Amino acid sequence: MSLRITGIGSCVPSKVVSNDELSKFLDTSDEWISKRVGIKNRHVCTTEGVTDMAVTAAKAAMEDAGVGAGDIDLIIGSTVSGDMLLPTLSCLVQKNIGATCMAFDISAACSSFLFLLETAKAYFSIGMKRILLVCGEQMSRMVDWTDRSCAVIFGDAAGAAVVEKDDSNLYESVFSVSGNDDVIKINMPFGNSPFKTAEQPENPMFLQMKGQETFKYAVGAMSSGIKDVLSKAHLNISDVKYIVPHQANQRILSFTAERLGLDEGQVISIISEYGNTSSSSIPLALNIMNENKMLKKGDVFVMTAFGAGLSSGSIVTKWAKD
Ligand code: ACO
């Protein structure tokens, strides 16, 4: 069972926030952020929300694929920072694009786009033909803007892809989850139940992250994921045109490239202008590559991601669009 991406789209808010702008209210500097994380700018929501961005990205992906709302069999969404806890992002997208198909969300935090692809593959095996995948994140609502170690890293964006069943295309995947709620987490609001006697969790609704542990996990998970997925597909690293990684920190990408003996240019990096956009980062990067005509039909590329969970995944496939 295999699939191919037939349409890709993305959307970022128009407001761009530079490191210098952050330095006006945080004890940080352009020099520290550029050197330690590799980010110069990030896009941040002002009037728009996750649904707006996700709908724009979804429409762009459908236009790129040359399909209408009636051609979609299923919408699978993912967000950890949506406008609403319910209805799900996929239902909001379904309403706004005028589709009537089944729609639901899944989440694997920043790794979600790869888990969406794998879930789509499973639905192809029960007869579906075309699935819309959509990730949208407004991480600017999930970070504590007084916490310099988190606030400087993230940005807002949405990314979407139309995928179709295609058993002739290369598709191999590996996933890993090691249950952990210590390294990266967001606590839900405590609520006001008069019956709740447990102690209120710390910093509800703000992202909490142990930076160095995340860093170590990321380099290990991405480099072993890439090796394992290539071995499963009987391919070598020399067969791969591009690695399209989750964009979390430029140093993570550089370490991963070094471990695998790759040229830095082969490891796609958009982090300098967008920051870490969580689950949207891989479809956003793919859309930028598509717009810049970097991918040619038949190119082998590996997507690799890690995130809270701790979850990680790597998928090798071929670009199958003209
Ligand atoms: N500006 C200036 N100084 C800072 C900043 C900042 N924005 N943030 C932290 N510092 C300081 C710390 O306070 C510390 O100061 P101290 O030595 O006086 O105590 C010093 O810099 C070093 O702190 P470290 O945490 O050791 O810095 P490190 O080099 O590890 O960088 C960072 C921190 C950027 C968070 C890094 O660990 C990292 O990128 N980790 C991975 C993060 C990541 O991938 N996040 C994604 C999570 S969610 C997801 O996408 C899956």
pTM of the model: 0.96
pLDDT at 189: 87
The CATH architecture annotation of domain 171-318 reads 3-Layer(aba) Sandwich (3.40)
pLDDT tens, per residue, the chain with 322 residues:
899 999 999 999 999 999 999 999 999 999 999 999 999 999 999 999 999 999 999 999 999 999 999 999 999 999 999 999 999 999 999 999 999 999 999 999 999 999 999 999 999 999 999 999 999 999 999 999 999 999 999 999 999 999 999 999 999 999 999 999 999 999 998 888 999 898 888 777 899 999 999 999 999 999 999 999 999 999 999 999 999 999 999 999 999 999 999 988 899 999 999 999 999 999 999 999 999 999 999 999 999 999 999 999 999 999 998 8
pLDDT at 203: 76
What separation in Å is there between the alpha carbon of 149 and the centre of ligand 1?
A: 5
Q: Whose alpha carbon is nearest atom 2 of ligand 1?
A: 28
Q: Cβ(211) to ligand 1 under 6 A? A: yes
- The bridge status of strand 184-186 relative to strand 171-180 is unpaired
pLDDT at 311: 97
CA-CA distance, 118 to 120, in Å (whole number)? 5
CB contact at 8 A, 81 and 138: yes
| Residue 237 DSSP class | G
- Residue found under tokens 């447990």: 198
Ligand 1 binding pocket mutation candidate from 37, 149, 150 (most atoms within 8 A of CB): 149
Task: Delimit the domains of the chain by residue range.
Answer: 3-165, 171-318
- Residue found under tokens 């994921």: 225
Atom of ligand 1 nearest to the CA of 111: 51
Angle between helices 50-65 and 89-97 (to 10 degrees): 60
Q: Cβ(238) to ligand 1 under 6 A? A: no
Both structure tokens of 88: 């799900």
Residue 190 CB-half CA count within 13 A: 12
Choosing from 19, 249, 276, 290, the catalytic residue is 276
Domain 3-165 and domain 171-318, same fold? Reply is: yes
CA-CA distance, 205 to 81, in Å (whole number)? 10
Q: Cβ(136) to ligand 1 under 6 A? A: no
Choosing from 110, 135, 150, 287, the catalytic residue is 110
Residue type, 9: G
Q: Which residues pair with 76 in a beta bridge?
A: 104, 133
For residue 276, indicate whether it is catalytic: yes
Atom of ligand 1 nearest to the CA of 246: 50
Choosing from 11, 45, 150, 246, the catalytic residue is 246
What separation in Å is there between the alpha carbon of 32 and the centre of ligand 1?
A: 10
Q: 3-165 belongs to which CATH class?
A: alpha beta
CB contact at 8 A, 212 and 255: no
CB contact at 8 A, 2 and 166: yes
